Amino acid sequence: MSEWKAKRFWKKATVEAVVDGFQILLDGRPVRTPFKSPLVLPTRTMAEAMAAEWDVQTENIDPRTMPITRSANSAIDKVVPQKRAVVEMLAAYAQTDLLCHRAAYPPALSARQAEGWDPVLSWAEKHFRAPLFVTVGIMPVEQPQTSLAALQDAVDATPVFTLTGLHDLVMLSGSLVLGLAVRDRTIAAETAWNLSRIDEDWQSAEWGHDDEAAAAADKKRDAFLHADRFVTLANGA
């Protein structure tokens, strides 16, 4: 028995302005999310990019080729109804942010971490008034409550669609500070991804290339760059 696949049923995907934003029409019929909510997008640029995803579908619809649509569905169906929980989860990353935990050995790795991570922490201290303490090893260090509160406020102020992209930026990098830096266009997404991989890249250089680990890292990198693009589209760029 062959697996059932959703079939293309429309000829043209178009964009229409509505009261709260923009929606996608398939032959004049509005698209809805998997939970049957109206799929209303915050910017025309996001709507046009999503319409392009629908237009390139062939006979069988392939959701894997529709990342903007998937992220928008998540924003509406998952993030909107539980925004407080998402904000608190992301803000909690500041308590054990990747950039605050340094290697004790070898000194060359510690120096590379400091070179890459210290400027981003300095930016967070100045921009959010949120200094964070740096420690050696993986054990948590108690961070200033005022800093944690300031960073949570920064997350809480993020619009839902941008928050959806920020969620993936933080989860994939292990760093709230890096995620916020990408959100605010302080550093490029590719740079942020490379900064999040300093430890792994060091280990690879020391112990040799692992094809399976490299393939997994490539998938995460692609997801990270998509999250950055989703943030860009949510901001209308």
Cis peptide before 106 (omega within 30 of 0): yes
What DSSP string describes 152-195? HHHHHTS-HHHHHHHHHHHHHHT-HHHHHHHHTTSS-HHHHHHH
Q: In this predicted structure, what is the pLDDT of residue 210?
A: 77
**Same domain for 170 and 61:** no
Q: How confident is the model at residue 114 (pLDDT cuts 50, 70, 90)?
A: very high
**Same domain for 109 and 189:** yes
**Same domain for 118 and 40:** no
- Give a yes or no: residue 74 inside a domain: no
Model confidence pLDDT, tens digit, residues 13-39: 999 999 999 999 999 999 999 999 999
Quote the mean pLDDT of the chain: 93
Q: How confident is the model at residue 166 (pLDDT cuts 50, 70, 90)?
A: very high
**Same domain for 152 and 95:** yes
**What is the DSSP secondary structure assignment for residue 210, as one 8-state letter?**
-
Q: Is the pLDDT of residue 171 over 50?
A: yes
Angle at 179 between CA 174 and CA 181, to 5 degrees: 135
Residues 6+ apart with CB under 8 A from 234: 42, 43, 46, 159, 161, 162, 164, 165
- Give a yes or no: residue 216 inside a domain: yes
- Give a yes or no: residue 2 inside a domain: yes
Q: For position 33, which CATH number holds?
A: 3.30.2180.10
- Give a yes or no: residue 131 inside a domain: yes
Q: For position 199, which CATH number holds?
A: 1.10.3580.10
**Same domain for 168 and 223:** yes
**Same domain for 223 and 124:** yes
**Same domain for 105 and 22:** no
Question: What's the average model confidence in pLDDT over 67-85?
Answer: 97
**Same domain for 141 and 53:** no
Q: How confident is the model at residue 5 (pLDDT cuts 50, 70, 90)?
A: low
- Give a yes or no: residue 70 inside a domain: no
Q: In this predicted structure, what is the pLDDT of residue 180?
A: 98
The count of structural domains within the chain is: 2
**Same domain for 86 and 60:** no
Question: What's the average model confidence in pLDDT over 83-92?
Answer: 98
Lowest mean pLDDT among 31-35, 113-117, 192-196: 31-35
**Same domain for 214 and 147:** yes
Lowest mean pLDDT among 3-7, 87-91, 120-124: 3-7
Confidence (pTM): 0.93
**Same domain for 117 and 32:** no
**Same domain for 86 and 18:** no
Q: How confident is the model at residue 237 (pLDDT cuts 50, 70, 90)?
A: confident
Model confidence pLDDT, tens digit, residues 118-144: 999 999 999 999 999 999 988 889 999
- Give a yes or no: residue 179 inside a domain: yes
**Which domain, by its residues, includes 186?**
82-234
